[in-house]
């Protein structure tokens, strides 16, 4: 009867699989999935193929670029035996053999991972050195993975040195650190070092797009670009932000949007930043402060606004020098930067950079961040109305009227340079022009020696006489003769004579610069400034070439 009523154990409800964060779920399982480290993978591949495997490796780089993942992949590559159990070390571990699966699951008895942050004493290292004497139990190599190795004590490092330099043939050491400068040189010299570089933002954005496709989540390309930029080259940081963005987007809606990412991270809206920058350049103080306050009321950190202004000025400067555009930029932002780059001069951009950088640091330290940001913007607006220092010096030197203060955009374009005289022959018109021709033709060292040490006695092409009162090497004369022949197409006579000669070009420039400085000190504008500020001094003034 008891047997008849025995219905067995009741069925247990299946437990849902515990959620794994994206950073763990999409940890690289093969070297082909390790993004951004192609040079290191190629080196390891060649080393394994040629059986030139080092006994110790050191992986260094910023957080989240794959140091520990790389160490585990190396452990799999060295211990893989293939699906048939007959394979050897390979750069493409099979992932199905027992060593590969055990290492991936963190349960292989011969692959020992140690966190040096919590096991940094000499006793911990003594355990390693003692255990390393014994052969591996089931693997080809016994592998020690030491994470954050820079946290080890000095005594622990010293205890590890001998074993690290001459380990048994069956032992490999894989060290990882984010602060390689704290690792003793004696340890570095015993390891094959790999510097894992930051992963480019566009590569991270493409990687995140692939992850979202597997997760069944849609996202705007601009949102992925924002996450990749916030990750600062770290795949793990980016996946953590992406995990947060998925949760922030919720179950309804159109997926991950750029606006939701900005709100989540407290990033400044790029369109709003452009509005603030436009107001600053136009000298519109109320407009700039209103734009800043709107972002602040919307939850944006004032320091983020200053960072956005710095990025904008930097981007405009890069456009001005002709670099390729950022693919993550919107068409609107690219057009705005190109327009500003065409209207703003380098001095204005450099001045804005310094002002915003100073404001960023002040906001970071201020007890009243929004007030500090407002004062930084007002300071930039006031400075934007000042004339360009180089333009001011040229006008003072030439006697032209001083410009009236105005917005930065009004003083952005420098005055046109006077047309250069046309050379009537291949011979330089005078000695300074000859030195300029030598410099332009690539004879930089020769031109520098003549500028600082050449005292002219006579210049009558094709004859050049220099003073011998200041030592000039004989090879300089022969080098100069050959260079002038290449420039003019005829043979020159270059010689030293025992005469004093004229001052060198450098000496003449210094005299002219001092005269210009004294003239500048006597100008009405500077005199008025010194009278208003008695303790002021003229420390920085235009380049000598612009006023000579």
How many other CB atoms are there within 10 angstroms of residue 325's CB atom? 14
Tell me the C-alpha distance between 287 and 279, whole Å: 6
The more confidently predicted of residues 145 and 334 is 145
User: Is there a domain that residue 43 lies in?
Assistant: yes
Residue 138 in this model has a pLDDT that exceeds 70: yes
Residue 151 lies in a domain: yes
Please say if the pLDDT value at position 231 is more than 80: yes
pLDDT value of residue 389: 60
Task: Output the pLDDT for position 405.
Answer: 52
Band the pLDDT of 470: cuts 50, 70, 90: low
Q: How far apart are CA 100 and CA 92, in angstroms?
A: 11
Instruction: State how far the Cα of 384 lies from the Cα of 283, in Å rounded to an integer.
Output: 7
Same domain? 183 vs 68: yes
- 234 shares its domain with 173: no
pLDDT at res. 13: 59
Assess whether pLDDT exceeds 60 at residue 416. Answer: no
Summarised one tens digit per residue, pLDDT across range 512-524 is 888 877 777 777 7
Task: Give the pLDDT band of residue 376 (cuts 50, 70, 90).
Answer: very high
477 shares its domain with 365? no
> For residues 12 and 313, which has the higher predicted lDDT (pLDDT)?
313
* Cα–Cα separations (whole angstroms), residue 152 to 127, 138, 323, 484: 14, 29, 44, 63
Q: Determine the 3-state secondary structure of 483 from DSSP.
A: helix
Q: What is the pLDDT of residues 256-299, one digit of tens each?
A: 888 788 778 766 667 788 889 989 988 889 999 999 998 888 77
Domain that includes residue 534, residue range: 507-547
Predicted confidence at residue 245, as pLDDT, reads 87
The reply to whether 10 falls in a domain is no
Mean pLDDT of 92-105: 88
Share of the chain above pLDDT 90, in %: 10
Q: Which helix (H) or strand (E) holds 260?
A: helix 258-265
Comparison of pLDDT for 407 and 198, the residue scoring more: 198
Q: Does residue 9 belong to any structural domain of this protein?
A: no
For the chain, the average pLDDT equals 81
Q: Are residues 86 and 114 in the same domain?
A: yes
Partners of 146 in the β-ladder? 114, 175
- Whether the CB-CB separation of 104 and 98 falls below 8 Å is answered with no
Inter-CA distances, 427 with 408, 423, 444, 491, Å: 43, 8, 19, 11
pLDDT at residue 12 tops 90: no
**pLDDT at position 417, please?**
44
Question: Do residues 122 and 217 share a domain?
Answer: no
Residue 36, pLDDT > 50, answer: yes
Work out how many domains the chain is built from and give that number: 5
Same domain, 496 and 512: no
- Residues 180 and 291 both lie in one domain: no
Kindly report, residue by residue over 343-368, the tens digit of the pLDDT. 888 888 888 999 999 999 999 998 99
Looking at residue 64, what DSSP letter applies? T
61 near 195, Cβ under 8 Å? yes
Helices (H), 368-504: 369-384, 389-398, 431-440, 444-453, 474-488
The residue ranges of DSSP E strands in 150-292, in sequence order, are 171-177, 192-195
Residue 370 located in a structural domain: yes
The pLDDT, as a whole number, for residue 532 is: 67
Same-domain check for residues 54 and 125 = yes
Q: Mind giving me the DSSP string for 191-217?
A: SEEEEPPPPPHHHHHHHHHHHHHHHT-
Measured distance CA(494)–CA(31) in Å, rounded? 64
Q: Are residues 327 and 344 in the same domain?
A: yes
The mean-pLDDT minimum among 131-135, 463-467, 535-539 falls in 535-539
Characterize 483-508 residue by residue with b for buried, 16 or more Cβ atoms within 10 angstroms of its Cβ, and e for exposed.
bbeebbeeebebebeeeebbebbeee
On whether the CB atoms of residues 499 and 527 are closer than 8 A, the answer is: no
Q: What is the pLDDT of residue 6?
A: 53
Q: Looking at the whole model, is its pTM more than 0.85? A: no
Say if 16 falls within a structural domain. no
Mean pLDDT score, 238-254? 78
Please determine, for residue 373, whether its predicted confidence score (pLDDT) is greater than 80: yes
Q: What is the CATH number of the domain that holds 158?
A: 3.40.50.300
CATH of the domain at 240: 1.10.8.60
% of the chain surpassing 70 pLDDT: 82
Contact of 344 with 366, CB cutoff 8 Å? no
**Which of 195, 211, 239 corresponds to the end of one domain?**
195
For the stretch 140-181, pLDDT in tens is 899 999 988 999 988 989 888 888 888 888 899 999 998 888
CB–CB of 294/273 below 8 Å? no
Residue 442, domain CATH? 3.30.300
If asked whether residues 154 and 225 sit together in one domain, one would say no
From 353, 384, 415, give the residue that closes a domain: 384
Range of 312-326, 411-425, 505-519 with top mean pLDDT = 312-326
Same domain as 174, residue 206: no
Q: Which residue has the higher pLDDT, 451 or 531?
A: 451
- Measure the CA–CA gap between 535 and 215, rounded to whole angstroms: 66
| DSSP helix/strand/coil, 56 | strand
User: 396 lies in a domain?
Assistant: no
- Strands of 56-60's sheet in order across: 111-115, 142-147, 171-177, 56-60, 192-195
User: Does residue 261 fall inside a structural domain?
Assistant: yes
- Say whether both 493 and 517 belong to one domain: no
């Amino acid at each position: 009867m008891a047997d008849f009523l025995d219905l067995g154990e009741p069925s247990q409800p299946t437990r849902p699989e515990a959620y794994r964060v994206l950073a763990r779920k999409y940890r690289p399982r093969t070297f082909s999935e390790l993004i951004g480290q192609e040079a290191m993978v190629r080196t390891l591949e060649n080393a394994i193929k040629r059986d030139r495997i080092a006994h110790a490796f050191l992986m260094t780089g910023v957080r989240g670029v794959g140091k520990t993942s790389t160490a585990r992949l190396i452990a799999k590559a060295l211990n893989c035996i293939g699906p048939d159990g007959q394979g050897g070390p390979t750069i493409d571990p099979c992932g199905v053999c027992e060593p590969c699966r055990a290492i991936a699951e963190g349960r292989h008895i011969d692959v020992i991972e140690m966190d040096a942050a919590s096991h940094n004493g000499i006793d911990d290292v003594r355990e390693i050195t003692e255990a390393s004497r014994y052969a591996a139990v089931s693997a080809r190599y016994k592998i020690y993975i030491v994470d954050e190795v820079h946290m080890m004590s000095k005594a622990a490092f010293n205890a590890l040195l001998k074993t690290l330099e001459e380990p048994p043939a069956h032992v490999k050491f894989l060290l990882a650190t984010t602060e390689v400068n704290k690792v003793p040189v004696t340890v570095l010299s015993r390891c094959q070092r790999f510097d894992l570089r930051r992963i480019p933002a566009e590569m991270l954005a493409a990687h995140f797009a692939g992850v979202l496709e597997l997760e069944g989540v849609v996202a705007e390309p601009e949102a992925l670009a924002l996450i990749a930029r916030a990750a600062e080259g770290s795949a793990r940081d980016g996946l953590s932000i992406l995990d947060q963005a998925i949760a922030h987007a919720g179950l309804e809606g159109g997926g991950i949007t750029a606006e939701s990412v900005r709100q989540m991270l407290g990033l400044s809206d790029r369109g709003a930043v452009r509005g603030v920058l436009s107001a600053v350049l136009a000298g519109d103080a109320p407009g700039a402060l209103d734009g800043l306050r709107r972002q602040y009321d919307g939850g944006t950190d004032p320091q983020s606004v200053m960072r956005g202004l710095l990025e904008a000025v930097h981007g405009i400067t890069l456009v001005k020098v002709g670099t390729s555009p950022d693919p993550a930029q919107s068409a609107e932002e690219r057009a705005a930067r190109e327009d500003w780059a065409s209207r703003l001069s380098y001095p204005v951009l450099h001045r804005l950079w310094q002002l915003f950088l100073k404001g960023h640091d002040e906001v970071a330290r201020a007890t009243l961040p929004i007030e500090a940001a407002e004062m930084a913007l007002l300071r930039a607006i006031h400075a934007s109305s000042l004339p360009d220092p180089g333009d001011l010096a040229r006008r003072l030197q030439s006697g032209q009227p001083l410009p009236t203060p105005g917005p930065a955009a009004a003083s952005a374009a420098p005055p046109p340079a006077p047309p250069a005289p046309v050379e009537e022959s291949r011979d330089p018109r005078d000695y300074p022009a000859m030195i300029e021709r030598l410099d332009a033709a690539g004879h930089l060292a020769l031109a520098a020696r003549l500028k600082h040490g050449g005292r002219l006695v006579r210049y009558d092409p094709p004859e050049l006489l220099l003073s011998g009162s200041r030592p000039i090497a004989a090879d300089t004369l022969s080098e100069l003769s050959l260079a002038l022949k290449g420039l003019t197409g005829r043979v020159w006579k270059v010689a030293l004579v025992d005469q004093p000669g004229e001052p060198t070009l450098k000496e003449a420039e210094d005299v002219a610069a001092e005269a210009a400085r004294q003239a500048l000190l006597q100008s009405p504008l500077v005199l008025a400034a010194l009278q208003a500020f008695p303790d002021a001094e003229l420390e920085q003034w235009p380049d000598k070439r612009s006023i000579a």
